[in-house]
Chain A
């Protein structure tokens, strides 16, 4: 499967990025070659001001670091998961198992099936190995030490085939063979050797059929492939021995298939081999009958419709269904069709579509045939594992890059700020350069050359640091995840390095170019005399000229050709603009349009926004609506600015009123509750996670705009507060007035802090909400202390209580479960979907403390009564919270049952839902049942996500649906002395070792999970906090610049009596003040956003309360302010040491 970054194939992304870089490099080299003097002028400052240059490079490398970290973590996770897959699968590329008709336990099939498959694959040159074996889990123990393991993988391998299939080696690297094992001997792998402390020659006890039997360890094998992965303790038998021991003569559970070649080569063949096997293991005649039925009655169109309806949620299924529909339409009964139709999940979807369309007769026929369609199932296990690696890696990269994108934004703001300040520092010099004949584009080149050097150095350093940092972070991650089951192997691909380097460089370069353009825009007189830009505002062109310009820009490519021919404008520039016409054409039209509208651009923005909103309704996309509305309110605010500017002549007042309106209105519409438009947009496609940083950016920009438009008010308020301390007033007055006068640079710095604090705040607040597990653990554990699971094949005989000292327990209760298929009777989801049915003991029903998030009041007035009504009516069930669509953008698509009758946020009181349930893969009619309530998501799940849809019923529904007795597979224990839970879970494992019980203390699990989740949060917070470093660097840069710019002012202040300490305080207060505004905006936005997120969460999490962690926020504020003060201590000190006479002389 192709590796993807940000949804684009990694290689394509890398190639296009590198191509862009090459083009940019060629242009720069060409320009440099033509005017080398500009390169000299541009870059001479770099070595001269080493300190400043290093500071700039350090600031600029942030985007590269963050991109490299995100990709590096993704790469490492991908590589590590792949390593686990290759480690555990060895040469096994595909595995064939039984037809999946069995309701529980291991499914065996006849050895003769293997012989058929062997004959089949001998015709396929892509297959180079085949191996029949049995694979089950059994308890085992070291007889001598008494150490036991309740679940050990047991494999019985056919020695006749194993030698040709995969090498097994002992710890001395000697090749071993299954043929040399006698009936009392086993091999174990090194993993089991470690767990049970066993060596060659020791005796191992294995619980076969609930009785312990002893075997000699013939040798300890290296972990890998057949011998079992390093995370899977494994015992290996010769097939015949194990068959005899289990009483399964002539039966196997698996057939392993090995493709030709090793590693990725064999993986590439996997799709072909799987297709070959599936089509040949499918009964072609039955498949043809399927094809014939599905071709009629307008079914292809139905399937297509169904495909479209799930496209967003499940791309892969969409593609499969679309292909089936087109094969049916074109009457193409081919291998692809046979392969696809043998997939049971697809069959279910198609049957559901027929049911919905009233074609029950056809559906019934297909259901009858379905059982005969396949005899064996083919699972492309290695390929799936690699796909999983890809999904996990993509998820990790996405999460990290989304959180990182805030820091990237901050990094770009810093680049911009640095160049604004550089341009300001050199404005006189540049003005003189212009006066003596340099053109504007020369100035752009000048800055671009300088910026290129910085960008290049920054991208190099950033990528290397990012790679290192990603390795560091994954080690932290490994500590957080369970280190026993997953080994992290640091890895960074060349493609990722190229993407990180190019993306960092391109991002920096774009910002440099924009800043260079802005800097070049200087007016010569203004620059030399240090005047304000307003003095020299250029009058706009007359309407006719603007109109002509627009017409020309509508024909942009022709315009460029004409300009090339007539030699107007630089030739190089014209050629470049012509080449880049896909970008330059629309941009030029847009610029011309805005120029044409001039003061009335708000109207144009309004038109664009309306178009976007119209488009949103057409395509039913929420992102367009949101952006359209934002643009719309902005255009209204701009219109009001226009009106006010007519009435009020004072620019300051106009800016204050209009800026407040612009920022305020955008803020308002961007912070509406998430469900505000639900009545219209509930069914629309929701924006991806990338919309979050975009929204954050818009929010911050609006808030900063609002605050910076109100500087007079801010100064007034601050002076009012500070005038109480008359000694301080002289200092604070100047400290506040200076940053408020340089609105642009102050605004940029404030925006940086706001963005970062905004993200950190959201983390802090949302992290607090999870604490429900501390306050009310019963909602997760149900009030039980230990949960023990066993395989129903090794069921506990008789009453479990007989084996226990019941004086220690207050409750012991059990449950049984089977896989079922469920569909709604009245709702929209009439397709049978896989689910699980759990039947609970009466004790469980009366003692559990799980809470309901929804229930039908006709069956009881509170949670307890609803639970109790399960006991009185066997047709009533409760469902797990996962039957409600949650729209999680990160995980793989959930193909289990979902209800169409409840949506998150609905009232707790609902009407019961009628469903039909049947056992898995059964062609019988289902049983009608009633869902009377939904258990909240917290219940029963102490892992990430609660698994698929599960239904809970009273004692005997499982056996009724299954049509046979199903033994208990799970037990819940409440201890009289709760503190003993950890010890007791180990004791229970010991007592029920023969049954392979796996017991865990539920409170320990919660604790462990809370620790993990806290650590994850801290990790992400730390990662997002990287941006804080940039903000602090910005404060440093700003202070250094302020000291240089204000030397003379410092001299004056010193002359009129400011002490050194007052000057120092002035600069420190100034940077703290800027930081503080950023922090306040960030906290305000962060709290607002997290409240909105909390509102959504609380719909599914009753009892969750919203609180801002004051302590944590206090620490955050303190750290930020102290850091920004530290960043400005050196410049402030320098300023205070300026000798007044010297400063006054300074020009």
Chain B
């Protein structure tokens, strides 16, 4: 196990600049703990948001690497680029420069359709505001990723019910999300994220809307699953408790990894 730390200091503190001419410097990936092969690598990732006459550099040359089965927490102050990093790493957002590799695949080389397919088969998502489809029942929400990836309706239902059982929601399967509590909704989201047994689970503030009891419950569930299935978890969070439960913390500030 090797530990490489490198402090990356922002050269110019204001995040708002004219369109950059500066090229991101290539840095070596940082990792606190490595269990197996690297599944996520980012090299010199730059993400710039442009509006009419201003631009914001949300990620400013981010290099990280995450190994299989790791549970990594990305932390930092509001606006530091945590969610943007998660979105870019998971292929939900595009990057301006640099490269991201997931399981050895270069994300930028994939077409939108391939990327969608890749997400459907290999990734699961958990969001702060649950983002369950309000018009579908719990079990229908959970089985959606399976249906997208072509699983038969019967199998999809079976697997979804099993996953709901795992998260303790089986008896709520026919309820609409509106009829569930916050904790229950987040568990349903977890079930949806895990139902297709993805290699990587991305979680954006998974406990952000929960009280401390529910927070503990959800984290217990996450760590259990992480151990049981050797899935990689990347969690964006503000919560020190959540950070504490992770194998490793990546700290960010002003669009850069600082620790």
Nearest CB in chain A: distance from B120 CB, A: 2
What count of chain A residues pass the 8 Å CB interface test? 32
Asked if A734 contacts B133 (CB within 8 A), the reply is yes
Chain B contacts for A1049, CB-based, 8 A: 131, 133
Asked if A1056 contacts B151 (CB within 8 A), the reply is no
Asked if B150 contacts A1056 (CB within 8 A), the reply is no
Asked if A730 contacts B147 (CB within 8 A), the reply is yes
* 0/1 string, A1048-1066, CB within 8 A of B gives 1: 1101111111111110000
* 0/1 string, B140-158, CB within 8 A of A gives 1: 1000110111111100000
**Closest chain B residue to A742, Cβ basis:** B135
Asked if A1144 contacts B148 (CB within 8 A), the reply is no
Q: How far is the CA of A1142 from the CA of B49 in the complex (A)?
A: 11
Asked if A726 contacts B131 (CB within 8 A), the reply is no
Asked if A1056 contacts B140 (CB within 8 A), the reply is no
**Closest chain A residue to B117, Cβ basis:** A1057
Which residues of A (722-746) have their CB < 8 Å from a CB of B? Answer: 723, 726-727, 729-730, 733-734, 737-738, 740-741
Chain B contacts for A538, CB-based, 8 A: none
Asked if B149 contacts A1057 (CB within 8 A), the reply is yes
A532 interface residue (CB < 8 Å to B) = yes
Q: How far is the CA of A862 from the CA of B120 in the complex (A)?
A: 77
B77 interface residue (CB < 8 Å to A) = no
Asked if B113 contacts A1061 (CB within 8 A), the reply is yes
**Closest chain B residue to A532, Cβ basis:** B178
A537 interface residue (CB < 8 Å to B) = no
Asked if A727 contacts B150 (CB within 8 A), the reply is yes
Q: How far is the CA of A1061 from the CA of B153 in the complex (A)?
A: 21
A1139 interface residue (CB < 8 Å to B) = yes
Chain A contacts for B204, CB-based, 8 A: 1144
Asked if B152 contacts A733 (CB within 8 A), the reply is no
Nearest CB in chain A: distance from B98 CB, A: 16
Asked if A737 contacts B144 (CB within 8 A), the reply is no
Asked if B135 contacts A734 (CB within 8 A), the reply is yes
**Closest chain A residue to B112, Cβ basis:** A1060
Asked if B116 contacts A1057 (CB within 8 A), the reply is yes
Contact of A1055 among B119, B149, B151, B153 (CB under 8 A): B119
A1145-B150 CB under 8 A given contacts A1056-B145, A1057-B145, A1060-B112? no
Chain B contacts for A730, CB-based, 8 A: 144, 147-148
A1054-B153 CB under 8 A given contacts A532-B178, A730-B148, A733-B136? no
Q: How far is the CA of A1048 from the CA of B132 in the complex (A)?
A: 10
Chain B contacts for A737, CB-based, 8 A: 133, 135-136, 140
Chain A contacts for B233, CB-based, 8 A: none
B239 interface residue (CB < 8 Å to A) = no
Chain B contacts for A1055, CB-based, 8 A: 90, 92, 119, 123, 125
Contact of B93 among A734, A738, A1056, A1140 (CB under 8 A): A1140
Chain B contacts for A723, CB-based, 8 A: 153
Chain B contacts for A476, CB-based, 8 A: none
Chain B contacts for A175, CB-based, 8 A: none
Q: How far is the CA of A734 from the CA of B90 in the complex (A)?
A: 24
A1059-B116 CB under 8 A given contacts A1141-B87, A1141-B92? yes
Q: How far is the CA of A1060 from the CA of B153 in the complex (A)?
A: 22
Nearest CB in chain A: distance from B159 CB, A: 13
B121 interface residue (CB < 8 Å to A) = yes
**Closest chain B residue to A732, Cβ basis:** B147
Which residues of A (1122-1140) have their CB < 8 Å from a CB of B? Answer: 1139-1140
**Closest chain B residue to A1049, Cβ basis:** B133
Chain A contacts for B127, CB-based, 8 A: 1052, 1144
Asked if B149 contacts A1059 (CB within 8 A), the reply is no
Nearest CB in chain A: distance from B185 CB, A: 13
Beyond the given A726-B150, A730-B144, A1059-B116, please list 20 additional residue pairs across the A-B interface where CB-CB is below 8 A: A726-B147, A733-B136, A737-B136, A737-B140, A738-B135, A741-B134, A741-B135, A1048-B131, A1049-B131, A1049-B133, A1052-B125, A1056-B120, A1056-B125, A1056-B148, A1057-B117, A1057-B120, A1058-B116, A1059-B113, A1062-B148, A1142-B93
6 contacts between A and B (CB under 8 A): A726-B153, A730-B144, A1049-B131, A1055-B123, A1059-B117, A1140-B93
Give the interface of B toward A (CB within 8 A).
Answer: 83-84, 87-88, 90, 92-94, 112-113, 116-117, 119-121, 123-125, 127, 129, 131-136, 140, 144-145, 147-153, 178, 192, 204
Closest 5 CB pairs of A and B: A1057-B120, A1141-B93, A730-B147, A1141-B87, A741-B135
